[in-house]
Amino acid sequence: MAGSDELYDLVIIGGGPGGLSAAIYAMRAALKTALVEKGVTGGQVTMSDEVENYPGFVHISGAELSMKFTQHAQSYDLDMISQEVTALDPGLDHHTVRLANGDTLKTHAVILATGGSPRKLDVIGERELYGKGVSYCATCDGFFFRGKTVVVIGGGDSAAEEALYLAKLCKKVYIAHRRDELRASKILQQRIFNDCNIEMLWNTVVTEIKAGADGVEQVGLKDTVTADTRELDVDGVFIFIGFNPNNELVPAGTRMNADGMVVTDEKCETRTPGIYVIGDLREKFARQIVLSAADGCTAALAAAHYVEAKTSMLADTCELPPDAAS
Ligand code: NAP
């Protein structure tokens, strides 16, 4: 049970693949560990219809993979705390993690694994029609668009995967992409181009989402090359244009790049000793489930060294006889 007097070796904030992998390694390194997650564990991957690039699983749904990660972490005596973290205060003696219910957790080390949230398009109608035809998750909402026409916005892996998922349910799927080339992996591109239910709208941005009586009815489109505009009738708009890192808890003075991702050393450690950042919140070349898991491993092993060094130093100090300094 969490409370003001708890002193942990390690507190992990965030229960996605990175946080859960860190928990597995930390528990196996005998660290007294708590994992704090405000929602359900699993992170963004729970929203993926299919995962095909996590080693060991040729095909697995995001929800099932998340469940396996969670079950694995829970098979150790891990303290899972279902709370929102409101602040992380670094300290010399220990760091303090503050929870929304007023509890505080003192800890030698912290792993921040808070990932990111879907980036918003910031066009008229997006906010107002969220849940009424505007969605950021095809696996969650695709069912409501069976036999209907939708537009997917974006050209990355997420847009491609989600469009392929929607193409199995919908009458017609448009992909509006602002350039004439997709960013998505080649294998996904091939599948998109081979799917006769998907039509690419190249060099196209959505400028407005318009409502009818039952939610989304139309989008305004603009050609990024010719500046021509037109309207397209759709029942749903699925937005996958990347994500913003959830960096609200990152302590002041921590090095971040222009996109708000934290720059760490090879141990995933920040400038503050004992504070590690992993997964999609950490600056890296590619954002993949396997890389978040790898970060979790790295940070947990590094934290184990850090905690051992720190606590053995404290123990040495405590064991000095009173006249030892003379
Ligand atoms: P992403 O790779 O950053 O792609 C975002 C896409 O949205 C890009 O095509 C970008 O266009 C477009 N975009 C950005 N801002 C826009 C705006 N304001 N208006 C219109 N279009 C905009 O994001 P993601 O697809 O969410 O993927 C995030 C990371 O997760 C990536 O590293 C990806 O590889 C990874 N991921 C992997 C898998 C998998 O391997 N199974 C699945 C999903 C995601 P430009 O191309 O012109 O910049």
159 lines ligand 1 (CB under 6 A): yes
- Whole-model pTM: value is 0.80
49 assigned to some structural domain: yes
> For the segment 232-272, what is each residue's pLDDT rounded down to a tens digit?
999 999 999 998 999 999 999 999 999 999 999 999 999 99
Q: 43: pLDDT confidence band, cut at 50, 70 and 90?
A: confident
2 assigned to some structural domain: no
What token pair was written down for 266? 């090879």
pLDDT > 90? residue 44: no
Task: For residue 200, give the 3-state DSSP assignment.
Answer: strand
Task: For residue 93, give the 3-state DSSP assignment.
Answer: coil
1 assigned to some structural domain: no
Kindly state whether residues 99 and 73 are assigned to the same domain.
yes
120 lines ligand 1 (CB under 6 A): no
Task: Map tokens 């390690």 to a residue.
Answer: 10
Kindly state whether residues 16 and 32 are assigned to the same domain.
yes
pLDDT given for residue 6 in this prediction: 73
Chain-wide mean pLDDT for the chain? 93
Number of domains in the chain: 2
> For the segment 51-99, what is each residue's pLDDT rounded down to a tens digit?
888 999 999 999 999 999 999 999 998 999 999 999 999 999 999 999 9
Kindly state whether residues 79 and 44 are assigned to the same domain.
yes
Q: Could you tell me the residue range of the domain that residue 210 belongs to?
A: 120-239
Q: Whose CA is nearest to atom 13 of ligand 1?
A: 241
Kindly state whether residues 225 and 249 are assigned to the same domain.
no
CA of 241 to the centre of ligand 1 (A): 5
**Last residue in a domain, options 187, 217, 239:** 239
pLDDT > 60? residue 230: yes
183 lines ligand 1 (CB under 6 A): yes
From 158, 181, 187, the mutation candidate for ligand 1 (largest count of ligand atoms within 8 A of CB) is 158
318 lines ligand 1 (CB under 6 A): no
CA of 63 to the centre of ligand 1 (A): 21
**Last residue in a domain, options 197, 217, 239:** 239
Q: 318: pLDDT confidence band, cut at 50, 70 and 90?
A: low
Kindly state whether residues 285 and 266 are assigned to the same domain.
yes
139 lines ligand 1 (CB under 6 A): no
323 assigned to some structural domain: no
Q: What percent of the chain has pLDDT over 90?
A: 84
Q: Which atom of ligand 1 is nearest to the CA of 159?
A: 25
294 assigned to some structural domain: yes
**Last residue in a domain, options 209, 239, 269:** 239
Q: 139: pLDDT confidence band, cut at 50, 70 and 90?
A: confident
> For the segment 104-138, what is each residue's pLDDT rounded down to a tens digit?
999 999 999 999 989 999 999 999 999 899 999 89
Residues annotated catalytic, as ranges: 137, 140-141
Kindly state whether residues 256 and 267 are assigned to the same domain.
yes
325 assigned to some structural domain: no
Average pLDDT over residues 177-202: 98
> Distance between CA atoms of 278 and 293, rounded to whole angstroms?
9
172 lines ligand 1 (CB under 6 A): no
From 60, 179, 183, 219, the mutation candidate for ligand 1 (largest count of ligand atoms within 8 A of CB) is 183
> Distance between CA atoms of 302 and 306, rounded to whole angstroms?
6
Kindly state whether residues 108 and 128 are assigned to the same domain.
no
115 lines ligand 1 (CB under 6 A): no
288 lines ligand 1 (CB under 6 A): yes
Task: List the CATH number of the domain containing 266.
Answer: 3.50.50.60
Q: Which residues pair with 104 in a beta bridge?
A: 98
CA of 98 to the centre of ligand 1 (A): 33
Sort strands 149-153 and 236-239 into parallel, antiparallel or unpaired.
Answer: parallel
Torsion of CA 234, 236, 240, 244, to 10 degrees: 120
Kindly state whether residues 231 and 247 are assigned to the same domain.
no
Kindly state whether residues 153 and 229 are assigned to the same domain.
yes
pLDDT given for residue 119 in this prediction: 94
Burial letters 281-310, b for 16+ CB under 10 A, else e: bbbbeebbbebbbbbbbbbbbbbbebbeeb
pLDDT > 70? residue 316: no
CA of 201 to the centre of ligand 1 (A): 16
pLDDT > 80? residue 317: no
> For the segment 264-297, what is each residue's pLDDT rounded down to a tens digit?
999 999 999 999 999 999 999 888 899 999 999 9
Kindly state whether residues 168 and 103 are assigned to the same domain.
no
Kindly state whether residues 112 and 221 are assigned to the same domain.
no
